[in-house]
Amino acid sequence: MLLEIPEILSPQQAADMKAALLQAEWVDGRVTAGHQSAQAKQNRQLPENSPVARELGDMILKALPANGLFMSAALPQRVFPPLFNRYEGGEHFNNHVDNAIRRLPTGGQIRTDLSCTVFLSEPEEYDGGELLIDDTYGAHSVKLPAGSMVLYPSTSLHRVTPVTRGSRVSSFFWIQSLVRDDGQRTLLFDLDMSINRLRQEVGDHDAIVAQTGVYHNLLRRWSEP
């Protein structure tokens, strides 16, 4: 499932983050890439131990639970601390698949079920820089307003096209979901959205209670502690 989620951050929050990030010290983006990705990656990144990255990353982490669409789609169990990257002057990221396992800065590791990008630059501020994500229906081009997020399976082949004007600044991170399988997560998300729509249209009803029970029994069957 590929899902665009509007306004994880407000436009003002995104603008303030971008302004702070543009003043920060950047390093070669290959510092967090695996062997294969490092050959395809050409961008800059904020160091993981940067105080700015930690402060802004915490702001994003606090915003996630407040977004019902995100919570329903991701069913997050663990979230990798958000990182920040910057593309300009022709920088790009060729075809790659994200590493299956990431080491957490605090120790331990996370399985990457879902990849997330939060856009912090407005689309009109730069040319190029589209995130292209492949699935069975072809390539999907994503270039969202500042503060919006795209959520997609980490198994997806994806790339960022060269930025030929301006600066593309964004946050990216990974999620280990309670439900590992993307097809099962998608079914649960569709069912949850259907229940919510029915509740808005008809209010509480025995049939909605029954559907909610089905949802939770499926989640109980498919989730991993």
Domains for the chain: give ranges and CATH numbers: 3-177 (2.60.120.620), 182-222 (4.10.860.20)
Give CB contacts under 8 A, 24+ apart, made by 61-67.
63/8, 63/9, 63/13, 64/8, 67/5, 67/8
Residues of the chain with pLDDT under 50: none
- Residue 91 has a CB neighbour count (10 Å cut-off) of 21
96 is in an annotated binding site: yes
What's the confidence (pLDDT) of residue 205? 84
Amino acid identity of residue 111, one-letter, is R
Local structure of 165: helix, strand or coil: strand
Local structure of 19: helix, strand or coil: helix
What's the confidence (pLDDT) of residue 17? 97
98 is in an annotated binding site: yes
First vs last C-alpha separation in the chain? 22
What's the confidence (pLDDT) of residue 203? 83
What's the confidence (pLDDT) of residue 28? 84
168 is in an annotated binding site: yes
What's the confidence (pLDDT) of residue 48? 87
Token pair of 179, please?
């439900």
113 is in an annotated binding site: no
